[in-house]
Amino acid sequence: MSAVNPIAPTSVGYGRDMVGGTRIWQPGFPVRLAGVLAGLRRGSGDPTYRIEGRGTGARHWRGMRTPAGPASLALRVRGTAIEANAWGPGADWALAGVPRLLGAEDDPDGFAPRDPVLREAIRRRGVPRLGATGLVLEALVPAIVEQRVTGQEAFAGYRRLVRRFGERAPGPGADVGLWVPPAAETLRAIPSWDWLRLPVDPARSKAVVLAARVAPRLEQTLGLPGEEVERRLTSIPGIGEWTAAEVRQRAHGDPDAVSFGDYHVAKDIGWALTGRPWDDDRLRDYLAAYRGHRQRVVMLLYAVAGHRPRRGPRLAPRTHLPG
Considering only CA atoms, which of 135, 146, 96 is closest in space to residue 216? 135
Cα separation, 270 vs 248, in Å, equals: 23
DSSP state of 172: G
Q: What is the mean pLDDT of residues 22-46?
A: 93
Residue 195 in contact with residue 202, Cβ under 8 Å? yes
Query: For the segment 192-214, what is each residue's pLDDT rounded down to a tens digit?
Result: 999 999 989 999 999 999 999 99
Cα separation, 144 vs 86, in Å, equals: 28
Q: φ, ψ for residue 215 (rounded to 5)? A: -55, -45
Query: For the segment 210-260, what is each residue's pLDDT rounded down to a tens digit?
Result: 999 999 999 999 999 999 999 999 999 999 999 999 999 999 999 999 999
The predicted model scores a pTM of 0.89
Most distant CA atoms of the chain, gap in Å: 58
Query: For the segment 85-97, what is each residue's pLDDT rounded down to a tens digit?
Result: 999 999 999 999 9
Domains and CATH numbers, the chain: 3-109 (3.30.310), 136-252 (1.10.340.30)
Which residues lie closer than 8 Å to 33 by C-beta, 6 or more apart?
A: 56, 58, 60, 75, 76, 77, 82, 102
Q: φ, ψ for residue 9 (rounded to 5)? A: -70, 140
